Structure 1
Amino acid sequence: MKQMSYMINQRYMKKLTCCFVCIFLLIGTVAAQDKEVKLKIVQTSDIHGNFYPRDFILQRDAVGSLARVYAFVQKERETYKDNLILLDNGDILQGQPTAYYYNYIDTVSPHVAAEMLNFMGYNAGNMGNHDVETGRAVFDRWAGDCHAPVLGANIIETATGKTHFPPYVTLERDGVRIVVLGMITPAIPVWLSENLWKGLRFDDMEETARKWMKIIREKERPDIVIGMFHAGQDALLMGGKYRENASLDVARNVPGFDIVLMGHDHARECKKVRNIAGDSVLVIDPASNGVVVSDIDITVTLRDGKVTDKKIDGVLTETGAYGVSDEFMKHFASQYATIQDFVSKKIGRFTETISTRPAYFGSSAFIDLIHTLQLNISGAEISLAAPLSYDTRIKEGDVYVYDMFNLYKYENMLYTMKLSGKEVHDALEMSYDLWTNRMTSPDDHILLFRDKPREGAADRAAFKNFSFNFDSAAGIIYTVDVTKPSGRKVTILSMADGTPFDMNKMYTVALNSYRGNGGGELLTKGAGIPQDELKERIVSSTDKDLRYYLMQYIEGKKVIEPRALGQWKFVPEEWAVPASKRDYEFLFGKVQE
């Protein structure tokens, strides 16, 4: 009997042991199972004040806007919840009157751009060159009002050597550590007056990325590293020392990035490149104005808390299909009304319609109005100016505040500088070299076009170079021979009053601060003035932006009669006139203005 009981107990114990073994094996299997985490990264860039689905300058509906972006984001959050990471890549504080108003008019209320980023749940922002252009008082106030960090790994305080903004932010989602490193193009000193960024410097992107990647790997041990760079992909050297648009260089030459988010150049891009370590890096750019967003899906596989696999895919997603967020519009309705009231103020009257379209083919009423105002405001002898908007117009009749954003797109100061006659000539040579084709037959283009238009960059798609660098001059009489090679196109005949023009004489020249600081390199590469010498050539600068003085001038005059001064033209006219007509139609269609 005892033996039977012993045998039964043995069998029971065997079964029990077997059961425990199975349980332990099951637990081990569960522990060894993979965990899959799905993340969504959404990037906006170069919003340029397009917060509402309303273009306050043109007084019509806008295609993009943060209101449309928010509709898309809210739809995606239904699936991804907190695993959606929302990032903005700079140039948010300039472009539309909405930004201008909260930059310079209402400086007491929280900045509306910050309030919107907070409302939409952005996880990080980045600095752009046009954000710096607003000045330290504005961009520091905006960044301070933002709940999420505004990044800037290569924006350095000269007094301390430390970063002015946080260099990066670390986010954790379902056990996955994501680091976002933010940088700006370092070419700021070539474009912007030092008084806007005094006490700061802008370091090279690749050197900065190399430094911080080491720190990030050691300190943060990230699973995903995202570079958010306010810079495009076509690298070039500006001012002899600033590497502009170096995003692709960083993606390829600094191992460790999984994704590089680009901006600044307003050109759509989505592709994968291989870095020097042989790893794939997604590079993506949503162009501008919130028309599309960078839409990135990441699937991370974890085992025992460690990443065993990650898949990264990106597309550019149109926001238009998602409509406009009613929640956004209701929340910011009072600010919308404020801006509409601001831009609707009448400041004067124009006796005729002016457009930038004729400005590419000769003396035009639009650009010559800017020349006239610059000469009047500064008292200078010569004016240099370019069409800052590719295609815009101001209609005959009453002129309102919103028209001033058409007349003058950027918040540039007005400089008066000392330039020799030869330097003026050489700057114009470079300008027209950027602008015009060398005609070898009457059937050639007169303008210099790209072989392939820039996708998603309608404001600059056709020209090979940027039209905001197409400076013409007033105060002098000259011709541009489109049959001549580079450096031999421009012939200056005299001053506008008929007195001789002297290549050796020093003239006072009115031009905007972007050009005066070396923007477009017309004064450095073109006129041959060393970058470091430009500051010494400045005689005076306005303390407010040029648009402010243009508004004051028009309000004082009340009635403006815009007219082309006729101080320059393309020659030989038997080739230039028909070629101009053909290229006008190529750009704008058959209706000439």
Structure 2
Amino acid sequence: MTNRQSCTITILETSDLHGSMLPIQYANNAPTESGFAKIARLIERERSVNEHVLFIDNGDLIQGTPLAYHHAKKNDKAPNPMIACLNEMKCDAAVIGNHEFNYGLPFLHKAIQESSFPWLSANIVDAESGEPFFGRPYRMMELPEGVRVAILGLTTHYIPNWEKPEHIAGLRFEDAFESAKRWVADIREQERPDVMIVSYHGGFERDLATGEAIEPLTRENVGYALCADIEGIDVLLTGHQHRTIADCFIHGVAVLQPGSQGSFLGKMQLRLEKKEERWEIVQVESGLLSPVGMEPVEAITELVAPHEKLTQEWLDSPIGKLLGDMRITDAMQVRLKEHPLIEFINRVQMDLSGAPISNTALFDNVSPGFPSDITMRDIVSNYIYPNTLQVIRISGQDIKDALERSASYFETYDGGDVKVHPSFNEPKPQHYNYDMWEGIEYKLDISRPPSERVVFLQFQGKPLDRQAQYDVVMNNYRAAGGGNYTMFQGKPIVKDIPTDMAELLATYIMEKGTIEAELNSNWEVIW
């Protein structure tokens, strides 16, 4: 009888934490059952019962909550609290996510320097030398039994379509698939790992079960192709799409994705046996561990506490007063007929930029709107992204095409309730990709087929000239074509306002002292 050696490796994955270190909802400080402090308790538990545990963060760590915003904008000389938390939990590796660039390269470099773990990304390279910009494309680890584990980092290469150019100056984003193909082969040949893990801050472009395409061929996500068309990958850790994926294999590759904001901890266990001179994976199990009911790890809450105190004081700073009602009680109704909050944001954008036309979005379905006494908490609860503003020059046809893109947010109406089209809900909610406009008058008829829904479109009381050029203000994500608004890509930038929109809104309200809810009802959705 052959005496086989065996061992088990436990891989723990976080992804898209977006600064969610504590189990609170910053809009009202209500407790939540998510966040890294609770996830950390799960990590502790797994380490207490498993011998070989690898903890990998898959990116989008340092942006996303008021805590992260306040640190970046008001307290950036202090140690980064998100990095300190991962250091405390002995993270083994992290991957650069697209939102890591939101506050600029100096801020990101500082975070990396403070990290006790390596940041990996094989396909983000120096524009001149072509060498991996962040130094380490992969990490090799060897267990006491001699098992060799490779962790290769990849990042969605679509970042130049979203990020401000000055935040990524000197970088080149190589195709994630092509980079993976080259690096996996090189690592297999040179390092001879027993386990090849690819941690990819990106998601899936195809249905996991059928292989059918689920998004336009932008190559923002190439997870399915990584599994189907590259030999040598054993495990693919994913993120970016904020999905929950476990107990899943694509062309024999074990796949994991743990949601976002610390809602789950991804867990994958590999059992290996030594056969002759090689270790082989003989069994793979994966799942999503919920932090519901977990007590936060005190060491994490203590690390965050001084930063949190400053954040809370800043959030409760009074800004101004509101006459009228800008509260949101039904997000769908906001998207069907103009709401005072949307009109206000568009009006601020137009006032600050001088552009005659503006668009903006209601980013999610939990935005509360503004109360009568406005604080900074109200600003960041409604404008949750660190966007800046740009004025771009586009044609009337571009405006019409953009409205049709927005109109595709709705399923074709055939009676009953108005429904969101699945493409805006899956694989993750994309409510932020439905824009509402000011400075033009329009109607969208959602009983009509997609691309034929703009049934009324005027500018200053006359039909919009499809051939004419118009200056339109919008956030930098949209101006770069983000959200598949390809009609905006490459258009002349007439004006750039590099201040975060949350700060612009706060300053505008403070200068006014009192703002008023207004509504000109320049647009509506009909059926």
TM > 0.5 fold call: yes
Partner of 1:408: 383
Partner of 1:490: 454
Paired residues of 1:437 and 1:445 also in contact (CA < 8 A) = no
Partner of 2:433: 469
Report matched runs for 1:458-537 at 5 Å. Answer: 460=429, 466-495=430-459, 497-498=460-461, 501-522=464-485, 524=486, 527=487, 531=489, 533-534=490-491, 537=492
In 2, distance between residues paired with 1:468 and 1:43? 26
Aligned-residue Cα RMSD (Å) equals: 2.3
Q: How big is the shift at 1:499?
A: 5.5
Paired residues of 2:268 and 2:284 also in contact (CA < 8 A) = yes
Q: Is 1:255 aligned with 2:210?
A: no
Partner of 1:149: 118
SS of equivalent residue, structure 1 residue 519: coil
Q: How big is the shift at 1:478?
A: 1.4
Report matched runs for 1:176-575 at 5 Å. Answer: 176-235=147-206, 242-275=218-251, 280-302=252-274, 306-351=278-323, 352-355=325-328, 356-432=331-407, 434-439=408-413, 441=414, 443-450=415-422, 460=429, 466-495=430-459, 497-498=460-461, 501-522=464-485, 524=486, 527=487, 531=489, 533-534=490-491, 537-571=492-526
Paired residues of 1:55 and 1:96 also in contact (CA < 8 A) = no
Paired residues of 2:194 and 2:280 also in contact (CA < 8 A) = no
Percent identical among aligned pairs is 27
Paired residues of 1:39 and 1:298 also in contact (CA < 8 A) = yes
In 1, distance between residues paired with 2:464 and 2:98? 37
Per-residue CA deviation, residues 244-283 of structure 1 (Å, 9 max, x unaligned), is 21112101211111110110111111143353xxxx2110
In 2, distance between residues paired with 1:210 and 1:451? 29
Q: Which amino acid aligns with 1:475?
A: G
Partner of 2:36: 66
In 2, distance between residues paired with 1:481 and 1:291? 37
In 1, distance between residues paired with 2:280 and 2:395? 65
Q: Which amino acid aligns with 1:243?
A: R
In 2, distance between residues paired with 1:500 and 1:258? 58
Partner of 1:109: 78
Q: Which amino acid aligns with 2:333?
A: P
Q: How big is the shift at 1:297?
A: 1.3
Q: How big is the shift at 1:386?
A: 1.4
Q: Which amino acid aligns with 2:483?
A: G
Q: Is 1:169 aligned with 2:142?
A: no
In 2, distance between residues paired with 1:118 and 1:486? 49
Q: Which amino acid aligns with 1:176?
A: V
Q: How big is the shift at 1:357?
A: 4.1
In 2, distance between residues paired with 1:477 and 1:451? 26
Per-residue CA deviation, residues 357-401 of structure 1 (Å, 9 max, x unaligned), is 422211112221211111111110100111112331134222111
TM-score by length of 1: 0.82
Paired residues of 2:270 and 2:281 also in contact (CA < 8 A) = no
In 2, distance between residues paired with 1:435 and 1:509? 21
In 1, distance between residues paired with 2:271 and 2:401? 55
- Structure 2 gaps, min length 5: 207-212
Matched pairs, number = 516
In 2, distance between residues paired with 1:360 and 1:309? 50
Paired residues of 2:39 and 2:262 also in contact (CA < 8 A) = yes
Paired residues of 1:237 and 1:243 also in contact (CA < 8 A) = no
Paired residues of 2:102 and 2:167 also in contact (CA < 8 A) = yes
Q: How big is the shift at 1:501?
A: 3.5
SS of equivalent residue, structure 1 residue 548: helix
SS of equivalent residue, structure 2 residue 352: helix
Per-residue CA deviation, residues 159-178 of structure 1 (Å, 9 max, x unaligned), is 11111121111111222111
Change (3 A) 1:309 1:396: closer
Q: How big is the shift at 1:559?
A: 1.5
Q: How big is the shift at 1:94?
A: 1.6
Per-residue CA deviation, residues 443-493 of structure 1 (Å, 9 max, x unaligned), is 2543333399758x6xx2xxxxx2111112100111112232233321444
Paired residues of 2:424 and 2:431 also in contact (CA < 8 A) = no
Q: Which amino acid aligns with 1:374?
A: Q
Q: How big is the shift at 1:309?
A: 4.7
Change (3 A) 1:188 1:249: same
Change (3 A) 1:358 1:473: same
Change (3 A) 1:318 1:239: closer
Q: Which amino acid aligns with 1:507?
A: Y
- Structure 1 gaps, min length 5: 1-28, 461-465, 577-593
Paired residues of 2:39 and 2:291 also in contact (CA < 8 A) = yes
Per-residue CA deviation, residues 386-437 of structure 1 (Å, 9 max, x unaligned), is 11123311342221112112221111110011112222122112211x2123
Partner of 2:69: 100
Q: Which amino acid aligns with 2:387?
A: N
Paired residues of 2:33 and 2:293 also in contact (CA < 8 A) = no
Paired residues of 1:57 and 1:97 also in contact (CA < 8 A) = no
Q: Which of the residues 68, 92, 107 maps onto 1:123?
A: 92
Q: How big is the shift at 1:285?
A: 0.6
Q: Which amino acid aligns with 1:334?
A: P
Partner of 1:7: none
Per-residue CA deviation, residues 79-136 of structure 1 (Å, 9 max, x unaligned), is 225x211110111122101111222221211211111111111000011111122221
Q: How big is the shift at 1:539?
A: 0.7
SS of equivalent residue, structure 2 residue 422: coil
Paired residues of 1:389 and 1:406 also in contact (CA < 8 A) = no
Q: Which of the residues 158, 161, 165 maps onto 2:127?
A: 158
Q: Which amino acid aligns with 2:524?
A: K
Q: How big is the shift at 1:512?
A: 0.6
Per-residue CA deviation, residues 504-534 of structure 1 (Å, 9 max, x unaligned), is 2211101010011110122x2xx3x6x4x33
Paired residues of 1:33 and 1:303 also in contact (CA < 8 A) = no
Q: Which of the residues 10, 13, 20 maps onto 1:50?
A: 20
Change (3 A) 1:35 1:103: same
Paired residues of 1:414 and 1:542 also in contact (CA < 8 A) = yes
TM-score by length of 2: 0.92
Q: Which amino acid aligns with 2:327?
A: I
Change (3 A) 1:162 1:342: same
Q: How big is the shift at 1:308?
A: 4.5
Q: Which of the residues 27, 30, 36 maps onto 2:6?
A: 36
SS of equivalent residue, structure 1 residue 329: helix
Partner of 1:26: none
Greater helix share, 1 or 2? 1
